[in-house]
Amino acid sequence: NHHQAIKTIANNFNIVATAPDGIIEAIESTDQTMLGIQWRPDKLLNDPKQEKIFTNFFAKLN
């Protein structure tokens, strides 16, 4: 499913998730105020792992 991806990240970010093929799928700022995620929300249905991404994201907004 990858045809676009992060190649390099800024100095103030850490890689926090990768795909089995090594593609960066999530980054987080070192001060933990920003999160970037490559994700397919259309894959949410009937997959507890995907639902957890969604619910955890919105839980952090509150």
Cα three-residue angle 19-7-23, rounded to 5 degrees: 10
Cα three-residue angle 26-48-9, rounded to 5 degrees: 0
- According to the model, what pLDDT value does residue 10 have? 93
Chain segment 37-60, per-residue pLDDT in tens:
887 777 777 888 878 877 877 776
Interatomic CA distance for residues 11 and 54, integer angstroms: 27
Return the structure tokens found at 38: 């490559």
**Confidence band of 29 (pLDDT split at 50, 70, 90):** very high
- According to the model, what pLDDT value does residue 16 have? 94
